[in-house]
């Protein structure tokens, strides 16, 4: 239970300190704007906190900054993605700059998976 409270507190902190790319994408995902699907942001899931999650569709959208391009971070991301996939989630990853410069393209990729 202690771990769950810690995760919830960390998720609240992450919601307050979203990156520009996360804020921009959340503005387009919130309130069921995309295909009528409800997304949650900075959602604890097991020992992880995912950027955006649709429980009903089991889809996770991650927005990665440059730090995710480092070898150790890539390895952690692969382990995290494998753990999520084992639980039936589909994980979509986008680079922060892709979200900021090509929002419509990012949304179209998410729509394709939702359909």
- Domain count of the fold of the chain: 1
pLDDT at 96: 94
Rounded to an integer, the average pLDDT of 17-29 is 93
Q: What CATH number corresponds to the domain at position 44? A: 3.40.960.10
- 96: domain range? 2-114
Q: How far apart are CA 62 and CA 59, in angstroms?
A: 10
Determine what percent of the chain is predicted with pLDDT higher than 70.
86
Whole-prediction pTM value?
0.84
Chain segment 72-106, per-residue pLDDT in tens: 878 888 999 999 999 999 999 999 999 999 999 99
């Amino acid at each position: 239970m202690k771990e769950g409270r810690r995760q919830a507190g960390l998720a609240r902190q992450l919601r307050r300190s979203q990156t520009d790319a996360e804020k921009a994408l959340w503005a387009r995902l919130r309130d069921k704007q995309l295909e009528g699907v409800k997304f949650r942001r900075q959602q604890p899931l097991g020992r992880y906190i995912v950027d955006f999650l649709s429980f009903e569709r089991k889809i996770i959208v991650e927005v990665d900054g440059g730090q995710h391009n480092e070898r150790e971070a890539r390895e952690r991301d692969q382990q995290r993605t494998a753990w999520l996939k084992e639980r039936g989630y589909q994980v979509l990853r986008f680079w922060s700059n892709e979200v900021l410069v090509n929002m419509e393209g990012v949304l179209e990729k998410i729509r394709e998976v939702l359909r």
